[in-house]
Amino acid sequence: MKIGLVGLPKSGKTTLFNLLTGSSVATARYDTGRAELHTGVARVPDPRVDVLRGLFNPKKTTYATFEVVDLAGIAKGERAGLETKEFRSADALLHVVRAFPDEALGAPDPRRDIEDLETELLLADLEVVERRLERLEASIKKQRKEAELKERDLLGRLKAALESERPLRAETLTGDEDKLLRGFTFLSAKPIFHIVNLDEKAIAEGERVVETFGLAEIAARPRTRVGWVSAVIETEIARLTGEEQQAFLADLGLAEPAIRRVLRECYALLGLVSFFTVGEDEVRAWPIPEGTRAQDAAGVVHSDIARGFIRAEVNGYEELVAVNGAFADLRSRGQLRLEGKDYVVRDGEICHFRFNVAK
Ligand SMILES: Nc1nc2c(ncn2[C@@H]2O[C@H](COP(=O)(O)OP(=O)(O)OP(=O)(O)O)[C@@H](O)[C@H]2O)c(=O)[nH]1
Ligand SMILES: [Mg+2]
């Protein structure tokens, strides 16, 4: 799963990209004139994984991850950058919104920037819909095909939504419609997280960004989140370690680096939850879309395990921690659950798959 960073030029996208992925791509105060594209992998902090590592003392610990792609800034009315393939295929968008003052860019206005970006996404989708509708009409004139008539009706509906400034993520679609539309990679259909990049002096205001910038109506929209960070402060926090970092966080009144919360929010925006596998070799968090069946979850670990799936031994995280990781205790108490292939795996469950690979 992949999240795409968008935003106006110089809003702090690359700074945030570096924080999310632990990279060190150069950031620039002035335009470098190069349309760069960065891709990386973000690791999702999860205190449960830390606890499980403590219990099993494994050789290896693996956190859940997702991919991140960072684009060059998209100026108002300039949609070409949005056409990048790596960006189009993103499952969700992380919109970096400048809230720090900058002489060259003028006073920040998060609400205006959010509405402008949403408009660009709508217009990009409208272009795609209109182009496709024209071709469909031409084809239908020659020969009426059932599938094309259906597609025309559906796209007509989307066009009406877009023209009345409703992003496609607000549409309710049937499974078939969703499948039909997938290839279009509509931008306004992607869930979006507007992250307000605060001035370092304003982070005490973090919890009030929605009120401060008048974003309540935006935050209430379907599949939309609003959050905050100060990318510059987070970069400083990330440079410190141990006690120094703790002291700095305490000074700022933060319980943990804000980037950890942002990572978890991105993960949730992507619709992902984690199940765990544990053992002496490895403690690992596996990302799965919410609602994944046990057999498909097994397939995330290995396709052979899905193919030869027999049963999943499942335990809740709390249950396992309560017995200090002693599966034998759970078994003797009859607390080890055995689930079939259609069982829906929940966030935090510890799974051990029984499988049998046919020779
Ligand atoms: N004061 C302040 N400056 C920031 C913050 N985040 C980023 N900047 C500065 O803004 C400038 C641009 O940051 P980048 O991360 O390169 O921004 P970008 O959105 O990737 O820029 P483009 O890719 O060129 O559109 C840099 O000089 C950053 O140090 C912030 O939270 N506060
Ligand atoms: Mg950049």
Domain coordinates of the chain in residue numbers? 2-47+62-107+191-269, 114-182, 291-355
CATH topology agreement for domains 114-182 and 291-355 = no
Residue 202: CB within 6 Å of ligand 1? no
- Report how far apart, in Å, the C-alpha atoms of 167 and of each of 119, 122, 270 are: 9, 6, 18
Assigned fold of 2-47+62-107+191-269: Rossmann fold (3.40.50)
Pocket perturbation via mutation, ligand 1, pick of 13, 15, 113 by most ligand atoms within 8 A of CB: 15
CA 224 to ligand 1 centroid distance, Å: 23
* pLDDT band (50, 70, 90) for residue 34: low
Taking ligand 2, which is a single-atom ion, which protein residues have CB atoms under 5 Å away? 13-14
- Lowest mean per-residue pLDDT among 33-47, 91-105, 173-187, 204-218: 33-47
| Confidence check: pLDDT of 30 > 70 | no
Which strand (E) or helix (H) includes residue 151?
helix 146-163
Report which bound ligand comes closest to the CA of 196: 1
Digit-coded pLDDT (tens) for 286-310: 999 999 999 999 999 999 999 999 9
Asked whether the predicted pLDDT for residue 218 surpasses 80, the reply is yes
- Rounded to whole angstroms, the Cα distance separating 255 from 341 reads 40
- Nearest Cα residue to 96 out of 125, 66, 73: 73
Whether 28 lines ligand 1, by a CB cut-off of 6 Å, is yes
If you ran DSSP here, which 8-state letter would residue 63 be given?
-
Q: Sheet harboring 60-62: ordered strands across?
A: 60-62, 282-289, 272-277, 350-355, 309-315, 337-339
CA–centroid distance for 243 within its chain: 31
Ligand 1 geometric centre to CA of 237 (Å): 16
Number of the ligand 1 atom closest to the C-alpha atom of 31: 24
Q: What mean pLDDT is predicted for residues 52-59?
A: 96
Q: What is the mean pLDDT of the chain?
A: 92
pLDDT of the residue at 71: 82
pLDDT digits (tens, 9 = 90+) for 61-70: 999 999 999 9
Ligand 1 atom nearest 11 alpha carbon: 19
Residue 72 pLDDT class (50, 70, 90 cuts): confident
Place of tokens 């979006």: 192
Nearest ligand for residue 31 CA: 1
> Coil, helix or strand for 162?
helix
pLDDT surpasses 80 at 358: no
pLDDT at 73 over 90: no
Question: 22, 87, 82: which is closest to 235 by C-alpha?
Answer: 22
pTM metric for this prediction: 0.92
Average pLDDT, integer, range 169-181: 93
pLDDT confidence tier of residue 348, bands split at 50, 70 and 90: very high
Average pLDDT value for residue range 338-353: 96
Torsions phi, psi for 30 (to 5 deg): -115, 160
pLDDT above 70 covers what percent of the chain? 97
Q: What architecture (CATH level 2) is domain 114-182?
A: Orthogonal Bundle (1.10)
Q: Is a pLDDT exceeding 60 seen at residue 256?
A: yes
pLDDT of residue 28: 62
Q: What's the confidence (pLDDT) of residue 37?
A: 83
Ligand 1 binding pocket includes 37 (Cβ within 6 Å):
no
Q: Which of 150, 168, 147 is nearest to 159 (CA)?
A: 168
Q: What is the pLDDT of residue 23?
A: 78
Model confidence pLDDT, tens digit, residues 122-136? 999 999 999 999 999
Confidence at residue 86, expressed as pLDDT on a 0 to 100 scale: 82
- Mean pLDDT to the nearest integer, 6-14: 91
CATH of domain 291-355: 3.10.20.30
How far is 305 from 307, CA to CA, in rounded Å? 5
pLDDT recorded at residue 29: 56
